[in-house]
Every structure is written in structure tokens, then in C-alpha cells.
Amino acid sequence: MAGSARYTAILDANVLYPNLLRDLLLSLASAGLYHARWTDRINEEWTRNLVMKRPDIESKIDELVERVNQSVPDCLVENYESLIDGLTLPDPDDRHVLAAAIAGHADAIVTVNLKDFPKAILARHNLEAIHPDDFIMNQLELRSFEALEVIKRVRGRMRNPARSAAELLELVEKNQLPQTAQYLRPHIGLI
């Protein structure tokens, strides 16, 4: 991919790991609100952690990764590895994420670990790190109707158990998305 006219974000492993957060972010991307990207290495990281917590789903991980990868066209960044050694971050293990963002022509890295991606370093590459709560809020503020419709569809897919809009708000808060939950409260009838 030579670049994207849409805002492009690399999704770090820590935002793909939680089921609800992964579903929200991928659904917003699938609806065309932004372009989501990641790498096979990022997939390996979040799925490894998921299997450590939930060994009962290990046999289903390959199918889950396939569904995740199919949810967004042109999601996988490739040929970024040669950039890794030339990058410096507080945690050297995060350099692959920055390399993917550079190679993937991203505008941002969506991550819970903002301290691992200092503003000064990212600015050199015209990138920003953004917390998923801020990122989802941006989508809600920029394209409110479409984003609310996406969230309604996410809730509609919830099974075992199905969730009411109020229960979804509780889950959003538990997933460390307080601004998003606060924004959704007055719009509860739309989700």
C-alpha cells in the first residue's frame, strides 16, 4: 500500500487483546471510519497472551486471527522489519510497532501504553500515540451517527449473554473507556 487517504492507525497488541475493545476498533475500521493496520507479530503477541489467560481457546486462535485479518482490507503491514534496529524507544520490544507504523504509512499508534511511545520520538515520524478511549471518542465526535451505528451493531452481535445498552456501557467502562461510556450515556437509546 502506497498510503491511505483515510486516517490510518496501527493497533498495538494491548488493544487487540480485549474482546470488546478489539470488536469496537475493528468494527469502526470495517465501517470505513479509519484504516486499521497491524502485523503478524502483533497478532502473535496478543494471541499468545490470550491463550496464556484462556488455554481452553487455544484450538480456536488460528480461526480468530483469520477473522480479525479478514475484518479490515489491507490490514497487515509487511516489510517493516528492516526498520526495527534503527529505532529507539524506552522499551526496545516495542520498536516493531513503531516500525510497522512507519512502513504502514500510519498517522497514529493506538495503544494503552502511551509512555512506551514518547511524543518527541513519534513526532520525528509524523506519528502520535493515542489511548483507545481518546481514539474511539475521536471517531464518535467526527462521525457521530456512523460510530453510534457501529456500536449498536457491536452490541447486537453480543451473545452468551446478549447485552442491553446499559450492560454494554458497564462493559465499556470496565474496558477502561470512561470517556466513551460518558459520551454514550445520553445516546443510550441509539445503541
Of 81, 72, 61, which Cα lies nearest the Cα of 9?
Answer: 72
Q: Which one of 87, 117, 132 terminates a domain?
A: 132
Residues 73 and 150 in one domain: no
- In this prediction, residue 5 carries a pLDDT of 61
- In this prediction, residue 179 carries a pLDDT of 97
Q: Count of CB atoms within 10 A of residue 114's CB? A: 14
2 in a structural domain: no
Question: What does each C-alpha distance from 136 to 9, 56, 72, 86, 140 come to in angstroms?
Answer: 12, 30, 17, 31, 6
pTM: 0.94
Residues 15 and 29 in one domain: yes
Q: Which residues contact 73 (CB under 8 A, 6 or more apart)?
A: none
Q: Count of CB atoms within 10 A of residue 64's CB? A: 16
116 in a structural domain: yes
Q: Which residues of the chain have pLDDT under 50?
A: 1-3
The answer to whether residues 39 and 100 touch, using CB atoms and an 8 Å cutoff, is yes
101 in a structural domain: yes
1 in a structural domain: no
Residues 29 and 105 in one domain: yes
Q: Which one of 90, 108, 132 terminates a domain?
A: 132
Instruction: Give me the domain span that covers residue 120.
Output: 8-132
pLDDT in tens, 78-123: 999 999 999 999 999 999 999 999 999 999 999 999 999 999 999 9
User: Phi then psi for 102, rounded to 5 degrees?
Assistant: -65, -50
Residues 85 and 31 in one domain: yes
Residues 124 and 149 in one domain: no
